[in-house]
Amino acid sequence: MKLYNSLTRKLEEFKPIVSGKAGVYTCGPTVYDYIHIGNWRTYVLGDLLVRTLTWNGFKIDYIMNITDVGHLTGDNAGDADTGEDRMEKAAEREGKTAWEIAKFYTQDFLAGYDKLNLIKPKQFTKATEHIAEQIELVKKIEAAGFTYKIEDGIYFDIQAYEAAGNTYGALSTLDQREAGARIEPNPDKKDRRDFALWKFSPSTALGAVVPKREMEWDSPWGVGFPGWHVECSAMSMGYLGEQFDIHIGGEDLRSTHHPNEIAQSEAATGKKPFVKYWLHGAHLLVEGGRMGKSLGNAYTLADLTKRGFEPLALRYFYLTGHYRKQLNFTFEALGAASEAYKKLRQVAGSWLGQKGRTSLSQEKLEKLQGLSLKFRQAVENDLNFPEALAVVWEMAKSNLPEQDKSELMTDWDQVLGLKLTEPPQKVKVPEEVEKLMAERERLRQAGDFSKADKLREEIEEKGFKVEDDKIKA
């Protein structure tokens, strides 16, 4: 099986550290708001990888973290220690405690996780439940001589790390590093690339009367909270070992968060190569542009369900793009994916329960073997799911007996995860759509077809398709 490794920038044959096993870690959500369809694309990538490896007989240890503390608003922009804590900020916004915020959005995340039929990791590890492990990691980095203290926290010292013969930032792409450099860094840092390992609660740092943080802990350096990057190193190594096979995340994590994870981990373990393969998923765009809460296009699963789309139709939509290419979300494209998905599920459903298989002719046997091989080659070629879907359709349209089609589909759906051989999920039709349908039916019965057609358009804009019986004479 071949995977594109961001570390070597090459397509490589996957060779696990321990034969037959694979340790996989995905950077999970920060639970301060609803998860959007961009985030879900990245979690679906983790799922597809884990499913494909499992299908290939690997025994998987899969870990995903839940960030419920310490992720500051400036983190993703390149300077890893500026801004407010996302959890505390959300608590203020919603008039709840940070703990309530974490609980609420974690539950929402887990519900969506099930709806998209994502394989559960061995454990979802929460940052707040691994504070001691994070402190231990920082202590190791300190003992290795790669930390320093400034007014607001303990920092990782990249120059000292490089002076000791280590390379920092092998994963980064240059343009993103420059983008990061546009952020004004904390002037007390020795190097703009340095990042916080432990941040002091404001009251400790300033000695002033400021609101007390809800999430803070004691540490050898003073009361505070861990820097965001620390949790992923501490928990991934804690559960998968100091060296493990695959680490996944969205492409925005490639130039700061992941290089920082590598630096921390290898500083703590004395240069043991941390992760063998790094996979980065390209972003989801919406209507050709960036998605964001402020742009009003950071759609959630609930937004799609309200418009009548099943979560698994979104999953099908993701499969239509290769994970290393940006994918453009539009409701039109989702509508097309949804139609294709429903059709596929319908035909796959019609093959179920076919009994009395006859032996295949030589020609059909060759066709079946050829399709099997093509599907396998597609998914094993750096998870090329668009190609795999094309093979699924080729098989569906072929003249193979339905019993054989059904068997292939059941096998392939272990990696596709589309529940193609299960009864469809029920979609609840929203009340407003029900009303429009009733009104349209009344107009049709009364012969007012032009008004009825207008309502049909309105209903379809809401993502529902109208199928009519003949009008009674």
Residues near Zn ion (CB under 5 A) are 27, 232
Q: Please, which residue, 21 or 283, has the CB nearer to ligand AMP?
A: 283
By CB under 6 A, name the one of 7, 34, 38, 262 that touches ligand AMP: 38
Applying CB under 6 A, among 1, 235, 291, 418 the residue interacting with ligand AMP is 291
Should residue 284 be labelled a site residue for ligand AMP when binding is judged by CB under 6 A? yes
- Burial class (CB within 10 angstroms; exposed 0-12, middle 13-18, buried 19+) of 209: exposed
Shortest separation between residue 298's beta carbon and ligand AMP, angstroms: 8
């990782």: which residue's tokens?
Answer: 156
27 among annotated binding-site residues: yes
**Residue 257, annotated as binding a ligand:** yes
Which residue number, 70 or 335, has a Cβ lying nearer to ligand AMP?
70
> Would you say 88 is a known binding-site residue?
no
Residue 293 marked in a binding site = yes
Footprint on residues 113-172 left by ligand AMP (CB under 6 A): none
Nearer to ligand AMP, 259 or 401 (CB): 259
Q: Is 276 annotated as a binding residue?
A: no
Alpha helices in 381-462 (DSSP H): 385-397, 402-416, 431-445, 449-461
What own/partner pairs with CB < 8 Å and gap ≥ 24 does 389-394 have?
389/319, 389/320, 389/416, 392/344, 392/416, 393/344
Phi-psi bin for 296: left (phi > 0), alpha (psi -120 to 50), beta? left
Per the structure block, which two tokens stand in for 405? 């089609």
Q: If binding is defined by CB under 6 A, does position 252 make contact with ligand AMP?
A: yes
Residue among 81 and 380 whose Cβ is closer to ligand AMP:
81
Contact between 39 and ligand AMP by CB under 6 A: the answer reads: yes
Beta carbon of residue 226, minimum distance to Zn ion (angstroms, whole number) = 12
Residue 224 interacts with ligand AMP (CB under 6 A): yes or no = no
Which two tokens mark 226? 């861990």
Q: In the complex, which residue's CB is closest to ligand AMP? A: 250
The site partner of 284 among ligand AMP, Zn ion, none (C-beta below 5 to 8 Å per kind) is ligand AMP
Q: Which is nearer to ligand AMP, 86 or 405 (CB)?
A: 86
Q: Which is nearer to ligand AMP, 250 or 308 (CB)?
A: 250
Nearer to Zn ion, 113 or 375 (CB): 113
227 vs 195: CA distance, rounded Å: 8
CB burial class (10 A; 0-12, 13-18, 19+) of residue 342?
middle
3-state secondary structure 213-237: CCCCECCCCCCEEECHHHHHHHHHH
Q: What angle do CA 8, 80, 292 make, to 5 degrees?
A: 85
Using CA atoms, how far apart are residues 403 and 406, in angstroms rounded to an integer?
5
By a kind-dependent CB cut-off of 5 to 8 A, residue 232 interacts, out of ligand AMP, Zn ion, none, with Zn ion
The residue count for binding ligand AMP (CB under 6 A) is 15
Cα separation, 214 vs 167, whole angstroms:
37
Q: Of 221, 261, 219, which Cα lies nearest the Cα of 67?
A: 261
Question: Any contact of residue 246 with ligand AMP (CB under 6 A)?
Answer: no
Minimum separation from the CB atom of position 24 to Zn ion (A): 13
The one segment of 15-23, 38-46, 126-134, 199-207 that binds ligand AMP by CB under 6 A: 38-46
Asked whether position 180 contacts ligand AMP by CB under 6 A, the answer is no
3-state SS, residue 427: coil
Residue 283: CB minimum distance to ligand AMP, A: 4
Minimum distance from residue 258 beta carbon to ligand AMP (Å): 10
Residue 252 Cβ, how far from ligand AMP at the closest point, in Å? 5
Rule CB under 6 A: is residue 250 a binding residue for ligand AMP? Answer: yes
Cβ within 8 Å of residue 442, ≥6 positions away: none
Q: Which does 255 bind (CB under 5 to 8 A by kind): ligand AMP, Zn ion, none?
A: none
As a whole number of Å, the CA-based R_g of the chain is 26
Distance, CA of 410 to CA of 412 (rounded, Å): 6
Q: What share of the chain is helix, strand, coil (3-state, %, to 5)?
A: 50, 15, 35
Given candidates 27, 138, 197, 232, which one binds ligand AMP under the rule CB under 6 A? 27
Region binding ligand AMP by CB under 6 A among candidate stretches 39-47, 92-100, 258-266, 465-473: 39-47
Q: Does 30 bind ligand AMP (CB under 6 A)?
A: yes
- Point out which span in 194-202, 206-214, 280-288, 351-359 binds ligand AMP (CB under 6 A): 280-288
Q: Tokens 């020609």: give the residue.
A: 363
29 binds ligand AMP (CB under 6 A): yes
> How far is residue 328's CA from residue 1's CA, in Å, rounded to a whole number?
27
Q: From residue 85, give the alpha-carbon distance in Å to each of 80, 88, 302.
A: 11, 5, 26
Mark the binding-site residues for Zn(2+), compressed into ranges.
27, 232, 257, 261
Give the binding site for ligand AMP (CB under 6 A).
27, 29-30, 38-39, 41-42, 249-250, 252-253, 281, 283-284, 291
Q: List the binding residues.
A: 27, 232, 257, 261, 293
